[in-house]
Amino acid sequence: MAKQFILDLIKAMTLEEKAAQLTQLSPNYFDEKTSVTLTGPYRNFDLTKEMIENAGSVLGCVDAQTYCKIQDAYLKKNRHHIPLLFMADIIHGMKTIFPIPLAIGGSFDLKLCEESAQIAAKEASVTGLHVTFSPMADLVRDPRWGRVMESPGEDPYLNSEMTRAMVRGYQGKDLKESGRLAACVKHFAAYGAGDGGREYNTVDLSRGMLKEYYLPAYRAAVEEDVALIMTSFNTIERVPSTGNPWLLREVLRKEWGFRGVTISDFNSLDEIINHSIAADSKEAAKKGIVSGLDIEMMSACYVTCLPELVRTGEIKEEWVDEAVLRILELKDRLGLFENPYKDADQSGAERIWLCEKHRKAARKLAGESAVLLKNNSVLPLSKANNLKIGIAGPFAESKQVLGGWAGQGENKDAISLADGIRAVLGNENVVTAMTQELQERLTGFLDVKDETKEAVKALKDCDVILAAVGEHPGDSGEAASKTYLRLSKNQEKLIHELKELSKPVIVIVFAGRPMEIEPILEDCDALIYGWFLGTEMGNALTDLLFGKVNPSGRLSISIPHTVGQIPVYYNYFQTGRPYQGMSPQERFASRYIDCENSPLYPFGYGLSYSNFIYSNLNVCTDSKKRGATASVLVKNDSDTDGTVVVQLYIRDITASVVRPVKELKGFQRIWLTAGEQKEISFEITEEMLKYYNNKEEFIFEAGEFEIMIGDNSEQLLKEKITIL
């Protein structure tokens, strides 16, 4: 039930004031001296003074002093004294930057994921921010799409659990608490399924695929009481999400019971005109409000057209009132009517930003997020015997390791790989070469200068060589779709030439997406996928290299052999002519003739300095509960303590629609000391065995299931059971 003072406010507001309340503008509209970097096509809308003075929210990240100045001036002019909402993209850290979300997904550490969001909220709220456009819950299967870096990965279950953790971390139990932000899950819906991996592109999915694979993580956010949901740029069933009544009213509100605020992405309501489902701003405004869109971000269809649409009877005023109600309830939920400045405190920001506690958490999560993919017994390194390390490549000395959407993080605060190692070995034992940094491809930059000969000469006396290679962080993220995913030619050449020195070569790949790394595999003795690990990157990787931290990261997205395989993901459908088990000469099967069907490295894969052995898989069914209990014995068969991520997969062998060959249904991060073994159990419930049929019914069908537990999506113990 809405509070009476909010209902009274709405009754007192004019149509023009209501329409403005649904409008979000950048800070320069309120303070001409303020400028922010915006991620979209900026236009200077022809707005009246009254429209600006009644706008409901502000987009963009500035500082506490500016926010307070804008809020103070606004409240003096707004006749109802309704406070502004300040929103920005705080994705994986505000000032202390954590690994990119795709890397965090690979940690499989829900507790630390939640803590990272809590720290980000704490560092952002003191600047005056109230809302973060995070977490991104989009399922991703195409690394050509730049925004894979912003997603937890390719699996709906893992995405859902990571999304839940992020929402809890940002929001806590009460948004009025100091240090909390309202979370806005995005991009609703299925933004990660764009054709060809191209940004802002069309999505075409069946409802079964949509509901079973692409919607669960958004729904998980709703179940965690997320405050806002952002619509996506793409179409769903040939209708843009921003003006899609089935998606926003039927699914989101009616089926899921979402009571929070919906907001468009940057200019996306106006862009339904480009999609050709609206002729002009007036029709766009009508379709937006009819569909259930509450806030229009950085376009002016609502503020300029809604009053007239109501007065002419083309839309109901109650639709506008519903949207205003939800926005005012969010402001009340944040406590802004009592304290419109909430946590804004610039001096407080300077005390907590990059503090020791926050850096420590960032270092720990970075260490858990990097993935060891190959190790020919060269890692961990020993500091004994005056070890001399050579580091070559564009990320040897670079601090450009924060990744996209790095809040207000600054490269200067990051720890480079070379500096991290120098802190352990000393300056005299670290030699760097060919360190020219990468630049963004959109600037016309294609490759670093070929200095391989000089690098080989400089590093010839080193005991171990690190090749620090990858892509520029600006070449992943929004509007950074790519068709070529290999390392640049001179980076590949560098690795090949360094191998000729007959010294151990350890390659570390820095990237915001899975790269095509097969061409360099033979030339490296060890390979770490370092993603973009944030502020503490250099220290975290040094911890891994010298065994202070035992690698536990797993891939949250499969790495392809070649871009021609894309999309390649573990939970695919079996075809009528499966290739598995057939001879290499078999022609009439679903296969490539020049490449394997399976990825180079599968979902869930990652090595450790420990050796974990799985045995004694046992599954006991429970006919009364239509479920089972599965257990497995896991032993650390090594002299090194370590963490293992035990993964549970299930296959529905026969069903009324085609089912995936396997689906992740559970995981546990387990610490085992050297020689220790533990029995790990999973409860399998009826809910875990359900799926959507072609009538959009979420059903259980009795029958045979395959239960699989193991180290990754390919290396699994298996047992078949029947549940009636």
Give the model confidence (pLDDT) of 528-553 as tens digits.
999 999 999 999 999 999 999 999 99
Is the domain spanning 612-723 CATH 2.60.40.10? The answer is yes
Q: Does domain 387-607 fall into CATH 3.40.50.1700?
A: yes
Pick the catalytic residue: 109, 265, 343, 543? 265
Q: Which of 127-141, 413-427, 570-584, 646-660 has the lowest mean pLDDT?
A: 570-584
Q: What is the rounded average pLDDT for all residues in the chain?
A: 96
Gap between the Cα atoms of 538 and 363, Å rounded? 9
Distance CA(144)–CA(595), nearest Å, equals 19
Q: What pairing do the DSSP bridges indicate for beta strands 698-699 and 296-297?
A: unpaired
| Count of C-beta atoms within a 10 Å radius of residue 707 | 25
Listed in sequence order, the residues at least 6 apart from 19 whose beta carbon sits closer than 8 Å to its beta carbon are 302, 303, 304, 305, 306, 307, 320
CATH topology of 47-348 equal to that of 387-607? no
Checking if the pLDDT of 500 tops 80, the result is yes
Q: Sort residue 549 into left (φ over 0), alpha (ψ -120 to 50) or beta.
A: beta
Question: Is the pLDDT score of 402 beyond 70?
Answer: yes
Confidence of residue 400 (pLDDT cuts 50, 70, 90): very high
Inter-residue contact 248 to 292 (CB < 8 Å):
yes
Burial class (CB in 10 A: 0-12, 13-18, 19+), 44: exposed
Tell me the average pLDDT across 664-679: 98
Q: Which CATH number fits domain 47-348: 3.20.20.300, 3.40.50.1000, 1.10.1060.10, 3.40.50.280?
A: 3.20.20.300
- Pinpoint the alpha helices (H) of 210-300: 216-223, 245, 281-291
Cα–Cα separations (whole angstroms), residue 180 to 60, 126, 171, 516: 18, 10, 5, 39
Which pLDDT does position 593 carry in this prediction? 92
Predicted pLDDT of residue 72: 96
Q: What is the pLDDT of residues 26-73, one digit of tens each?
A: 999 998 887 777 777 767 788 999 999 999 999 998 899 999 999 999
Q: Of 614, 637, 641, whose CA–CA distance to 550 is shortest?
A: 641
What is the Cα–Cα distance from 613 to 709, expressed in whole angstroms? Answer: 12
Token pair recorded at residue 226: 């997320």
**Given a cut of 90, is residue 714 above it in pLDDT?**
yes
N-to-C CA span, the chain: 43
Give the pLDDT of residue 394.
98
The Cα–Cα gap between 627 and 49 comes to 62
Which pLDDT band holds residue 633 (cuts at 50, 70, 90)?
Answer: very high
CB 537 within 8 A of CB 414: yes
Q: Is 262 helix (H, G, I), strand (E, B) or coil?
A: strand
Q: Where are the domains of the chain?
A: 47-348, 387-607, 612-723
What digits encode the pLDDT tens for the residues 459-472?
Answer: 999 999 999 999 99
Q: Is the pLDDT of residue 357 over 80?
A: yes
- Percentage of the chain lying above the pLDDT 70 cut: 100
**Angle between the 4-12 and 317-333 helix axes, to the nearest 10 degrees?**
130
Annotated active-site residue 265? The verdict is: yes
Residue 278 CA to residue 209 CA, distance in Å, equals 28
Name residue 610's amino acid: S
Nearest Cα residue to 231 out of 181, 258, 266, 270: 266
